[in-house]
Amino acid sequence: MDFTLSDEQQLIVDTVRRFVQTEIAPLEADLDPDAGALDPADQDRLVAKTKEMGFYGLDIPAEFGGPGLDVTTRALMAIEMSQHRAGLYNPCYGTFGGAGLAQLYEATEEQKDKYLYPALRGEKRGCFALTEPSGGSDPARAIQTRAHADGEQWVINGSKLYISGADKADFALVFARTSDDPGRNGVTAFIVDTDTPGFNVRRVVHTLRSTHYATEIDFDEMRVDKTQILGELNRGFAIANDRLSRQRIPYAAGCLGVAIKAQEMAIDWAKSRETFGGPLAEKQAIQWMIVDNEIDIRHARYCILEAAQKADRNERFRTEAAMAKLVASEGSGRVVDRAMQIHGGLGMTKDLPLERWYRELRIRRVGEGPSEVQRLIMAREILGGSFK
């Protein structure tokens, strides 16, 4: 496969790299090592710059006012955008904007006017409420939240766990079982305003991230109108799963960007650090760690770009996306771990971003589907779907 960048892609990569180096990294010198946001004045200034560059709302399709980037270009940008301290938690601190909830692109025009367009303009926040306490890796069968029809309304009871941003959201996509089908064909998606009676954020769930948390939500006799159904009745899981494979590619690319930066730091340190009469770079143990890092980086880059190019050609790419996510998240974790080892005691401190990347990458082995699920996806396709 030809992974040579076009002139336009190279220009975009150079532009994003320069933005990170000259606009983002200098600001981090004055932030807490675990900071997840910029000063509002800096945020507004940099958002204005990304809008001027035409890169605001990277994942928004052109028909909804976004740049309409192909998957390969989006992945290349993600590699560059993650190469700073907070790059895996909040790439460029959100100054390139987000896509809102991609599932809303399938909404009715009335729903788009009420939820999608305000979300794209930054006027409303949404959250994605799928995972439940009973299980996360097999959400279709784990969903025990139930909804039953009552005239023109639906009544929802149940709970959700590990939901990001529910306490600050204006609305939520809530997935509930609406039939006796125990699998994915009995789930419906509802768009729920978070001020609806019966919608309760039960508690905050703290995670490895010092400045990030998830939430647990309860639904107690929560009533929503039938017009709040997103898509078709009993077809909600198809909406939940929509675009998931495509999203895994830039997700994997962000992991790779951090690995590339950690490798650069490890090489610079190995060349400059003097121990036992010479630089670390002369020690075979260090050389092998650097080489193993390079193997992991090149492996991840190949898998990411192969998946992206297949997606852009409208070829089947589910296995390739799963492989990219698996290889990049696990391999990048190894790269950062070795970089920390090469830096010794300094690598364990918050003077460097390595320890934060280490924690973030541990989360990424679970986010967007854990490694075991990615292997299951690949196994099913490789074996021709001959088992469940």
Q: What is the Cα–Cα distance from 64 to 196, expressed in whole angstroms?
A: 28
Helix and strand numbers, DSSP H then E, in the chain:
13, 10
Dihedral over Cα of 146, 371, 241, 63: its sign: positive
**Widest pairwise Cα distance in the chain:** 82
Q: What is the Cα–Cα distance from 359 to 133, expressed in whole angstroms?
A: 23
Separation of CA 362 from chain center: 13
How many other C-beta atoms can be found within 10 angstroms of the C-beta atom of residue 283? Answer: 15
Q: How far from 104 is each of 172, 174, 219, 361, CA to CA, in Å?
A: 11, 12, 22, 28
Closest CA to 131 of 139, 123, 140: 139
Kindly give the pairing relationship between strand 126-129 and strand 171-177: parallel
Q: What is the Cα–Cα distance from 24 to 46, expressed in whole angstroms?
A: 9
Which tokens is 151 given?
């005239």
b/e burial code for range 298-334 (CB count within 10 A of at least 16 → b): eebbebbbbbbbbbeeeeebbbbbbbbbbbbbbbbbb
Which one of 8, 110, 368, 372 is the catalytic residue? 368
Q: Which residues pair with 338 in a beta bridge?
A: none
Which tokens is 77 given?
């940008």
Q: What is the Cα–Cα distance from 16 to 177, expressed in whole angstroms?
A: 43
Q: What is the Cα–Cα distance from 325 to 245, expressed in whole angstroms?
A: 9
| Annotation says 368 is catalytic | yes
Residue 121: partners with Cβ closer than 8 Å, 6 or more residues away? none
Strands in the chain per DSSP E:
126-129, 146-150, 153-163, 171-177, 187-193, 199-206, 213-225, 229-230, 274-275, 278-279
Query: How many alpha carbons fall within 13 Å on the CB side of residue 339?
Result: 30
Query: How many alpha carbons fall within 13 Å on the CB side of residue 52?
Result: 8
Catalytic residues: 368
